Structure 1
C-alpha cells in the first residue's frame, strides 16, 4: 500500500496537479482502499486549520508584503552602506545585511527576496556588479527569512508536530546568524577576488547621520518581534498581528511610501499566498494521518534499526532525503510531506525534536535555491529580468557555503539548542 501511495502521488504531481490536491487525492484513495470512514477527511481538515498557531501565517506574510511595497529596503541599504562600503565588496555585504533585516521581519524566503530584490539589484548593478551575481546574492540572502525568527517554517512545524513555536524561534537565532555570517564572508570574498564594485575612501558619517533617524523606526521592527516574544509579552500569533499593524503604520504614516491601494494589493497577495499554504497543509496532514494509520513511520524505523543505523547515519539520511525532495517540491510541501514521519522516527535515534526542526528548516532554505522548483530563483529571475539559468549561475558560488552551514547545524546540536535551554 505504501508503494502504491508513493507512485500515485508522483503520478499526480507529474501531470501538474497542485501538490495540496495531489496529497489529498492520494489520501482519500488510500482511505477508500483501506475501508476507513470518509468522515475522516472533513474531521482532519477542520482539525488541521483550527489552529491558533497557524493564524500567524497570514499576518507575517502581510507584514512582509507591506514592507516590500513600502520600499523600506532603500532606507536601510543607504544607512548600512554609508559605513560598510569602505571595504571592497562592502555593497554586497550591505545587501546581505539588508536581507538579514528583512528575514527578521517577514518570516518568508520569497517575501525577503522580493522586498529587497528590485532596489538591491539596481544598486549593485550601478556599482559594477554583474547582474546575475546581484540576483544571486539576494536570492541566497532571502532564504534567511526561513531560519531567522519569525519563521513561517517553524510555525508550520510547530503547529503540525506540537512543538512550542516560541522555543523554535529562539532555536533559529544562532543558526540564522551562522548562515548569515558564512554567506556574508563568501559574498565579500567573491567581490574582492573578482574586483566587483567601488569603495568609499572613508565612512560617510554625514549620510549615516541623515539616514539613521529615518531608519530607526524600521530598525525597531526585529526588536519588536523578537523582544516581545522572548520577554513573554506576546505569543508568536499575537506578535504577528502587531507586526502587520506596525508595518502598515510605517508605510502609511511614517515613511508614506505606500497608499491604501498598495495596502489592499498587499492584502490580496497575502490571501492568495495563505490560501495556497493552508491547502497544502490540509492535504499533507490528511496524507500524513493515513500513512501513520498504515504504519509507514513504524516500518521505516524498524528497517533503520534492523540495519543498526546510528544517530549520525540517521541525520545524514534525513539530509539526503530532504535535499533530493527539495529539488521537486516547494518548502511548505516538503515540510508537510516529511515532518510527521521524521519526527516520529527521531526519538528512536535520540535526536532532539527542536534540533531536527532546525535541520529541516536549513534544508528548506536550500530547496528554495535548487532547480527545477527553487522559488527564489524564479522570483529573482522576474525581478532582475534575467533568465533563470543566469540567476542559477549567480547562486552557484553560494551552494557550498550553504552545505557547510548545513553540516555545522546538523552535527553541532549546540548551535540550535544553546539558547533554548
Structure 2
C-alpha cells in the first residue's frame, strides 16, 4: 500500500510540473522521516552516498567535451568529408549523416548532445540537395539516439555506477549493437531517399573534396579512436579517458580549429555544469528512493513473485520492453535509468539474464524514449533548431520507429551481439 501511494504521489508531482529530482527527494525524505523515523543526518549521508562514486566523475568531463565539439562547423566538415565519397548512392548525404553520428556518439555519449551537434549542419546542408526539411529534422533526431549506445555512453556510466558493473565492460558491450543500429538506420535512410527521390547522386566519388577535407577533419576524427581505443586496450579507465577527452577537445577548439574563444569555453563550462547538476540531482533523489524501496523489500517481493509464477526469461524481457516503451513517453532517459535500474536488474539476474546484456537492452529502450512524444527530448531539440512543430517531426520519424523495433528485437534475442567483445 505504501509503495502504491508513493508512486501515485510521485506521478502527481511530476504531472504538476515539479522536476523529477525534486519530486523523488520529496517523496523519499517524507517517507523516511515520518514512516521510518530515520534521522535527517542519516538521510543526508544516504543522499551523498548515491553520488559519491569515482565512476560518476566521468559525466561532467564527457558532457564538457561533447559540448565543446558541438561548437563551430565541425559537423559540416565531417558531413562533407563522408558525403564526398558516398554521394554515389541515392541519399548519399543522408547516409553520410548516419555515418557521422557514429563519430559524434563516440565523442559526447549523449543523445541530445549528438543531435545538437548534427542538427544545424544537417538542416543547412540537406535541404540544398533536395531533401525535405521534415525528413532532415527526423533523420537527425533518430541518428542522435546512437549517442546513448556507442561508448562513451552516459547511460552506461549511470547503470554501472548504480549496479556496480564495470563501466569498461558496458562500453565495450554497446559497440556492436550501436554499429548494428547505425546499419539499420542507414538502410532505412537509403530506402526512403530512393522512394521519395531525395538527394543528388554523383557519378563517381569526389576524391578532390575528400583529400581537401581530410587533413582538416583528421584532428577531430582521432578523438573517437583516442576514447574507444584507450578504454578497449585498458590504457585508461573511463573516468581517466573522460578527463583526457575534455582536454583534447579544449585543444582542438582553441588551437586547432579555432572555433571557440575563451568566452565560449566559459559559456560551455557553465552549460556543462548545469547539465551535470541536473543529472546528479536525479541521482540524489533516486538514491534515496532506492534506499527506501530496499527497506520496503519491493525488489525481493517482485523477484519472489517472478520465481513463484515460473515466468520464462523471454516473457520477462517482453514485459520490460513494453513497460519501458510506455514509461519512456513520460520520463527522460536519466530518470528512467535511475528509477528502474535498482528494481529491474535484480529481477533480471534472478531470471538468469546476463546483466550486461540487460544493460544494453535498457539503453536501447531509452534510445527509443528520446523519440517518443510527448517527452521525447530529441524531438524538442530538432523543433527548436528547425522551427518545425513537434507533430511534423514525429511524422517524419514514423518510418524509423519500425527500424528501431527491429533493432530492439535483435538486441533482445541475440545476447552474443552484446557479449562477444566483452567475453
Q: Which residue of 2 aligns with 1:327?
A: 329
Q: How does 1:20-35 map to 2 (within 5 A)?
A: 20-31=21-32, 32-35=34-37
Q: Deviations over 1:120-159 (max 9, x none)?
A: 1111111111111000110000000000000000000001
Separation in 2, partners of 1:72, 1:235 = 27
Q: Which residue of 2 aligns with 1:264?
A: 266
Q: Which residue of 2 aligns with 1:194?
A: 196
SS in 2 for 1:370: coil
Q: Which residue of 2 aligns with 1:5?
A: 6
Q: How does 1:193-342 map to 2 (within 5 A)?
A: 193-342=195-344
Separation in 2, partners of 1:128, 1:300 = 53
Separation in 2, partners of 1:71, 1:240 = 23
Q: Which runs of 5+ in 2 are unaligned?
A: none
Residue 100 in structure 1 maps to residue 93 in structure 2:
no
TM-score after normalising by structure 2 = 0.98
1:354 is aligned, of 348, 353, 356, to 356
Q: How does 1:42-121 map to 2 (within 5 A)?
A: 42-121=44-123
Separation in 2, partners of 1:185, 1:110 = 23
Separation in 1, partners of 2:183, 2:287 = 35
**Offset at residue 39 of structure 1 (A):** 2.9
Residue 184 in structure 1 maps to residue 186 in structure 2:
yes
Q: Which residue of 2 aligns with 1:134?
A: 136
Q: Deviations over 1:50-73 (max 9, x none)?
A: 111111001111111101113211
**Offset at residue 347 of structure 1 (A):** 1.8
Separation in 1, partners of 2:228, 2:75 = 20
Q: Which residue of 2 aligns with 1:412?
A: 414
SS in 1 for 2:388: coil
Separation in 1, partners of 2:326, 2:339 = 13
Q: What RMSD in Å do the two structures reach over aligned CA positions?
A: 0.9
Residue 17 in structure 1 maps to residue 28 in structure 2:
no
Paired residues of 1:71 and 1:115 also in contact (CA < 8 A): no
SS in 1 for 2:329: coil
Separation in 1, partners of 2:172, 2:54 = 19
1:374 is aligned, of 376, 386, 389, to 376
**Offset at residue 419 of structure 1 (A):** 0.4
**Offset at residue 165 of structure 1 (A):** 0.4
**Offset at residue 35 of structure 1 (A):** 2.9
Paired residues of 1:107 and 1:148 also in contact (CA < 8 A): yes
Paired residues of 1:62 and 1:270 also in contact (CA < 8 A): yes
TM-score after normalising by structure 1 = 0.98
Compare 298-307 and 234-243 and name the one that shifted more.
298-307
Q: Which residue of 1 aligns with 2:389?
A: 387
Q: Deviations over 1:161-214 (max 9, x none)?
A: 101000000000010011010011101110011101111121111101101111
